[in-house]
Structure 1
């Protein structure tokens, strides 16, 4: 729109000496600052906008008044709103350049200059994919409107709909194709209001588990826009997608946007938010699309945080401690070799690389109420840790190590990526895996599966292909109901519920030479672990085996509710752990140590109803 002319050239001050040449100082790297963004704004270009007489300048003024630094115009299946705003600015500039602008028009242009000097305005759209799912595509400010319209046509938006701005546009491209097309075109891809209506999480739908996984874990998707980012607890969307669930191993960045359909919200009960009513802060070195894209496409989720008014800044380390240890998160008070602390850190790195990846914090205990000691000379500790990892691991895992401030001290953070070269070993022959919040040496069956999984992954690795132009992108067929898992039925005495996705199932017991050997099923991945004894079992396995051997469930006394019975419920930190019995025909499955996150929505609701009775 209005081009930035950049800073004026500065001449040498009068009287400055030129006799002694000096080496030009190296430019300082900009200090990152927290910037506020709202990447989901509608305009009168959307036919459901609540105030059609509002001007585009009014929207920019309101964004500037709310203290925003970056906004995106994302009308429904159109860029007509952004194009109209751009055309208005271009006409005013043309009149000014020819000396034909009147005072009213000049004041309007000056207002545009004032707000655009404070605000980065990005073009984009909210695309409606097949089955009504909404996807945000956001692009650099210099992107031509015609290019964005071409993308919408590529996504099968009918030409007659490009100016309407409606949510309903017929049979368009499917979600995965949309992710790919927008990303290949250089855009930022965000699943709009993913946890609510028209969101890719499929809330309120009892089937489609594999579809939900595909829609929220695709490599071309950069972030999930959610409506509960400011809430705390285990049931929030951000916690669901933190990488701790085996079927959702990729941690997803969650942000929030207003989805504003008016300037100012009429009342707290109104479903239509105003500009800047839901804001995300992002830590940027500069306010630019490129800097924003680097953050949203990156893996450091501490670079974004929810913002509301003058609320206290979020301490991400403290927030992690409040969430507690999990499959993808652990804490260590120190990294000293004495006492085995360094080895424990290395064990967690190995386990997370062999499992789902995760984050390790060094310099503080897991207890959120305990004072963190921090790490002295963190940079020195980081370099020493990198050297130790390179020396003791085979192959070397993919880790990013940095430091973060918290509670007046500095801790070291180790971000472990899920490894492409599984299995990873310490000292050539020690293989570790992560089981919920516990790191243990892998047993034989787990090592076999790690090796097999690594081999199959390498065999399936795609060869490099030349990049295809956007026009050559072949739309994938939209997912149909045949591609989704069938909805559970109640017929033939079956339970009608998906098995839990956390905990273990006790399958069978066999006694040989006076020793009881158990077969367990790891509910995270469905793998069977054979020949586990009470003495060799790890924590959760040991609990399940102890219950079977010393206190087998009395199914005749169980309180059944729709083929499900809660045998035991206990609290561990901030988690609920359940022992469940589930009838399936003539068989009863016994599950131990199931968490809330491992239950389907229907089973979780059933257990909640039983607890309230």
Structure 2
């Protein structure tokens, strides 16, 4: 159990899901599910309070009670069968730890939904009387219909439910059929929007996408009591709105109701899991006793494996002993590779405990060593340490870099069968070999399209993240492990940079490759006097499985040479991104006077100081600071590591005209893909500031300048405009710097960023979503412990 036990004054954090449907709703996705199934799934999800809230009916709770009452009646008469006795015992076991509340999801006059949740001792007839008062026709009280006409308006319904003794919750307010979304859709007045979200009879607002939506009216943070006209602070929660037992895979995007029981829950600090304690909390002002855990897609995926069980491409494991025990998981890795790839999660039991991983660096090293010593060929492994249910859990993604079979050092071939790892039998081995031929293993039919490794260049064969730093295995003439961006030089630095562009989605590889069969040319560029190439290879299914960076044209096979000869005069770029060891600063650049030490220790100083500066490295080159001289021209404090890596040279106040393309490439950083940029703020004839914005998510630029009074209060644009006024001119002592990148005003889910370009001009990016930042912007926050 991951629920926190004792916390404050005898209270503890209790997990609740107050928005569950049952087969009594007409749109329930799994009508064969029993009420015992629902309670068992709630227990698996560590829930202690749930509410049955079927559409315009309390019939689901009624059927649940009827089933339980029937079993108790049979027991009293001594007529229980063995199976019925087991069901009754299971009901009693579950209900000893789980509170089940009756309720409904009411459809108001204009389509907005409202949850009514009642105490478990409230008679069904009284709850149905409330539904009748709300306008649900008598002949539809047991139907569970999603749509009912001629019902009461939202604010009327709030009052009726509250006076009947129910908790009133506005569900999915920022989604379809939410009270806020409906008022926005219908274009009703601001007063109407205030009424539906601030009513005195309303106990809580339920949000979907709790941490991702940041526009006005649709964010929990908007209802913190500090927004004009929305003075009442609201309890903001989330619920699953489950129409099935367990969450559907993310691949099934077409399904409307994809969440399962407990997928979206709220944690409440309560003395017990009774309705009375729940009501007392939601009727109070103790907002710090409610919290909504943040989750990402990978956590949802772990849920699916944990509660759905291991499968052909998904494995859960816990360590039996010290971290070196992970060495034995190489058979699982080989089996996943033979299945075409998959995911190994270390630290969870199927359907049970989350125990986590201690000393993850030792675990990853033991597993990597086990795979390296026992599995041939080597699959691609990517390690990620993720927070899950209060524990550190290791996610290992296994990719099949070569066609199967993947063979163990003892001659065994492992496969996945019935959710377990087994030695392959003869038929399965034959199937693997047939698949290998189909996917492109060596064959006389390949006609030169078989993978023929170039004799130059490098390939990124593995990556894992440790302590916020990505480590890479780079295949050159040898395989070198544990390369970081800062330690890499020359071609390795270039390859890592391009690899990160792909990993973080900054480059659309498929659209840039010129193909000939299964061989592809991504890019041709000139480095010094030589032309080099980035080459790719795809498997029989069209999936790119190999990328080779910085390949020279010597020693290539005929198939590769044919591909390069068919470039037809395509443009050759000049590479500016990588720092080569020979790329020294020209003589006379700057003044070789010693600078004060600019690079901070690798450990975060406590506390971090605003105005602190750290060197931003790429290869051997580093940028310490950008300043403006008295004439307004940009000057750059640069650092170059010695070739041996033992020391460094400092070059202060280097002018722009002295910089090579490699140094300019270091200075230039792509804009983040989240937030709002204020491109310009100029005064009109009346002396009023007018703003031009760029939406960093879409790249769209506002065509018409905005005056501050024309911007709707509470929007991100309005926030950006106000902060831009405050940030002009830039006070560098209010920024934490990494070279020419910096941040200021970190918030719970957002951060304001600043960038100094090669002309020393400051660019501000406001309300950037932390979880959406990638590349060097994310590294900036990681460096200062903000991620």
Provide TM-score, normalisation by structure 2.
0.38
Higher relative contact order (CA 8 A, sep 6+): 1
Larger CA Rg, structure 1 vs 2: 2
Provide TM-score, normalisation by structure 1.
0.49
